[in-house]
Chain A
Amino acid sequence: DTGVSQNPRHKITKRGQNVTFRCDPISEHNRLYWYRQTLGQGPEFLTYFQNEAQLEKSRLLSDRFSAERPKGSFSTLEIQRTEQGDSAMYLCASSSGPVSYEQYFGPGTRLTVT
């Protein structure tokens, strides 16, 4: 099964520390998305890539957040100087084609900031 994978699955960190998450999309998918989901809410869009180009960023993505997709394959999401409000599930999804609406999700990385 070559679905979307995310690592780590869980991350506990102290406030002020930096964390980095990785997403490996389905290999033939050119679009990659990052979402954040908090308890009782649906996923909230953070940013997306088409190949290696980051095409859009949400207002939710503060200066402490940065995402990369250097070779158009895997992507990383880094949060610097974490805050307790960053505690959430971070979901990655991928899709194919320029106008595909069906996104395939990974299992997510649960971040807890203490």
Chain B
Amino acid sequence: DQQVKQNSPSLSVQEGRISILNCDYTNSMFDYFLWYKKYPAEGPTFLISISSIKDKNEDGRFTVFLNKSAKHLSLHIVPSQPGDSAVYFCAARDSNYQLIWGAGTKLIIKP
């Protein structure tokens, strides 16, 4: 029973274009949603978050959108850079303050 799903295992985007990573969830009680970025041989690194009471949060090139009615969030990266190539995880915080994670999407930025 996956409460957080990232249905695209990988995504390839041209450098300079927009990267859009998607995440779906089932539990309407999640109160925070987070995106983490992971390079090989390193632990995940926090990227950006959004509260369930918001619908958008922006930080530089990164914007997260939340659609509560659809139980869907997305991470937009614009413009995409080669250093953005990594695995991106979507995570949601439940009522016990635990993070429930998606399986990740591998983003490849092509030069």
Contacts and interface: CB of A to CB of B under 8 A. Distances in A.
Contact of B43 (A42, A48, A93, A101): A93
A106 B43 contact: yes
A25 interface: no
A11 to B, nearest CB: 15
Nearest to B97: A99
Interface string B31-60: 010101000011111100100000000000
Interface string A93-114: 1000001011111111000000
A107 B49 contact: no
Contacts of A105: 36, 43-45
A42 B101 contact: yes
Nearest to A48: B98
Contacts of B89: 42-43
B99 interface: yes
Contacts of A45: 98-100
A85 interface: no
A31 B102 CA distance: 22
B34 to A, nearest CB: 6
Interface in A29-88: 40-45, 48, 56
Nearest to B96: A56
A94 to B, nearest CB: 11
A91 B44 CA distance: 9
B10 to A, nearest CB: 11
Nearest to B51: A101
A92 to B, nearest CB: 8
Given A42-B103, A42-B104, A101 B41 contact: no
Contacts of A99: 97
Interface of A: 4, 40-45, 48, 56, 91, 93, 99, 101-108
Interface of B: 4, 9, 32, 34, 36, 41-46, 49, 89, 91, 93, 96-104
